[in-house]
Amino acid sequence: MYYLPKKILFLIIVIFSEVILSDIDKLNVPEGFEISIFNENIDGPRQMVEGEEYIFVGSRSAGNVYAINKKNTSNTIILFSDLNSPSGVALLDGDLYIAEIDKILVVKNIEQRINLNSYTDLRADIYFDNLPRQDVWNPLKKNWHGWKWIDFGPDRNLYITEGVPCNVCDEDDERFGTILKLSDNNLSIYADGVRNSVGFDWHPVTKELYFTDNGRDWMGDDIPPCELNKVEFEGEHFGFPYIHGNDIEDDGFKSPKGFEFSKPIWEFQAHTAPIGMKFYDGSMFPDYYRNGIFVAQHGSWNRSSKVGYKVLFMKIKDGLIESSEVFLDGWLEGESTWGAPAAPLVLRDGSMLISDDRSNQIFRITYKNTKN
């Protein structure tokens, strides 16, 4: 067996450490905030949810669901592997819910089972499997925009995003292109005309649902916009596939006579791919951020010059966006990227996590009052 000389091994460790540090050093946060690596042992982290002792993390292409010990954040447990894009995770009454492409799984008393070391043979039960992709056999169509964001609302019902299995289309199954509500095993359309939402949250005060939506491709570099929408009533239609943004008509799908839809409350730059979003309801950040929205822009993939790759903060007044500003950036350097933000999560201590499914890291943002 061949061993590297100690000096060479030391140099490799130093160089590797500097590469890691240089990445996080490229990230920019406002004055008074600090950013650190929360975890770097996860392949493709997406949606996250906080339990009493663990942070649970879904992934897309990796097919894994993870648990991170909050007291030792380098301690990562792979709870499940070989799942079909288990991007979405949620908790209710100690039970963990996992969204695959075509079904929702549940694991009862997840933290208790982890602490009893019974997670090595962990099994998840099917909670609900009557989703649109259950009957789709074409693998491309089955998986296209099938990764989900899930959460339990103030009404304790489970809400599920269901993207369209295409760039732009009008599917016979009306459940595609929606946000679905699951109540007592009954599935209904809560928001319609939604191309591909991968993030939503409820306003902490008004309890209204806000959600991001990704605009269609191949209309050009600058159209159509991506969207932030607010649901005013159940079954509300948001335009897709006929109208994009406020008023851009699709060139392949003419809207029906008398068609009515709700315009977005904000248009994001085209192709920035706003996905995960969370309202800030913590107490660590300054009051300026309370009840505002953090949105992760995952970044463009088919634009002539890259855009996105940042986290925005959006201030709300009277249900509308008062201002939008860059809160966190640094992933994009010219036309090169080294990561991409996927989802924010506000923790109980008021700090915020940002998952990055490209660099396989989760970052933690804290605020230090510089006046004290």
Work out the average pLDDT over 23-52: 97
Q: How far apart are CA 148 and CA 140, in angstroms?
A: 16
Task: Give alpha helix (H) positions in the chain.
Answer: 6-25, 110-115, 139-143
Say if CB 238 and CB 262 are below 8 A apart.
yes
* Domains in the chain: boundaries: 34-367
List pLDDT tens digits, range 144-201: 999 999 999 999 999 999 999 999 999 999 999 999 999 999 999 999 999 999 999 9
Residue 6 has pLDDT above 90, yes or no: no
Say if CB 303 and CB 225 are below 8 A apart.
no
DSSP letter (8 states) at residue 263: P
Q: How far apart are CA 173 and CA 10, in angstroms?
A: 59
Residue 257 has pLDDT above 90, yes or no: yes
Residue 21 has pLDDT above 50, yes or no: no
List pLDDT tens digits, range 82-91: 999 999 999 9
Work out the average pLDDT over 308-312: 98
User: Phi first, then psi: what are they for 19, rounded to 5°?
Assistant: -65, -45
Confidence of residue 205 (pLDDT cuts 50, 70, 90): very high
State the pairing for strand pair 150-152/352-356: unpaired
Closest listed residue to residue 296, CA positions, set 214, 193, 180: 214
User: Six-digit token pair at 66?
Assistant: 């993870």
Confidence of residue 370 (pLDDT cuts 50, 70, 90): low
List pLDDT tens digits, range 102-120: 999 999 999 999 998 877 7
Residue 81 has pLDDT above 70, yes or no: yes
Q: Which pLDDT belongs to residue 121?
A: 79
Contacts of 104 by beta carbon, 8 Å cutoff, 6+ apart: 97, 98, 126, 127, 128, 129, 131, 150, 158, 160, 182
DSSP letter (8 states) at residue 231: -
> Between 169 and 13, where is the model more confident?
169
Span 34-367 CATH architecture: 6 Propeller (2.120)
Work out the average pLDDT over 205-223: 97
pTM beyond 0.85, yes or no: yes
Confidence of residue 278 (pLDDT cuts 50, 70, 90): very high
Strands of the sheet with 125-128, listed across from one edge: 88-92, 95-99, 104-107, 125-128
